[in-house]
Chains A and B, each alone.
Chain A
């Protein structure tokens, strides 16, 4: 089983739609969770950190469920410019060398007019 799993998609949605991505992780000791956005042939850019109580940034809402070891990203009112790959990332867990990030394979989103 992969340490971080995401549905690769692609998700094809019309402008204005709401779309949700899920991500599961296997290391129960992980403490930090992130969503990154990656455009084609570019580097990952941080979209948002995910906090235990859930957090929102404009049209984007992230949730964490520690019991089920799952995080989610909700995008409301999708724009054409949201088309990208969304990468879920989880830190390596407790212990002295926990700083590495473990990424999922990414979920590709295509928003069409």
Chain B
């Protein structure tokens, strides 16, 4: 399977714990995006990377959230001191970066439940 992959697919944690999610983009895709989706809403943009550079962060991304893409390949999203409001589906997407705006392909998501 050469699509975007995410790990884990599900995560249940207690409030106050830290969690880390991983995203592996489509091979050779330069751009990688993180979105969050809650029930009944469309995905909301969190942040994106062009290679290893983090080019934009949403105001949704509080200080408890950090994302990295150290070698320009996979990315991690960490949430510190989780809160119940962090419960959501975290989606990763990648695009080739060959055009200024090109198609984003989504991974299966990580569903986070904070108890």
Residues on A lying within 8 angstroms of B by beta carbon are 4, 8, 31-32, 34, 41-46, 49, 87, 89, 91-92, 96-106
Contact = CB atoms under 8 A, between A and B. Distances in A.
Contacts of B105: 46
Given A44-B43, A105-B41, A100 B33 contact: yes
A97 B56 contact: yes
B48 A100 contact: yes
B101 interface: yes
Interface class of chain A by DSSP:
loop
Nearest to A101: B104
Contacts, number: 59
Interface in B61-115: 91, 95, 100-101, 103-109, 111
Contacts of A87: 42-43
Interface residues of B, number: 25
Interface of B: 31, 33, 35, 40-45, 48, 55-56, 58, 91, 95, 100-101, 103-109, 111
A98 B43 CA distance: 16
A97 B109 CA distance: 24
A105 B91 CA distance: 15
A1 B108 CA distance: 30
B42 A105 contact: yes
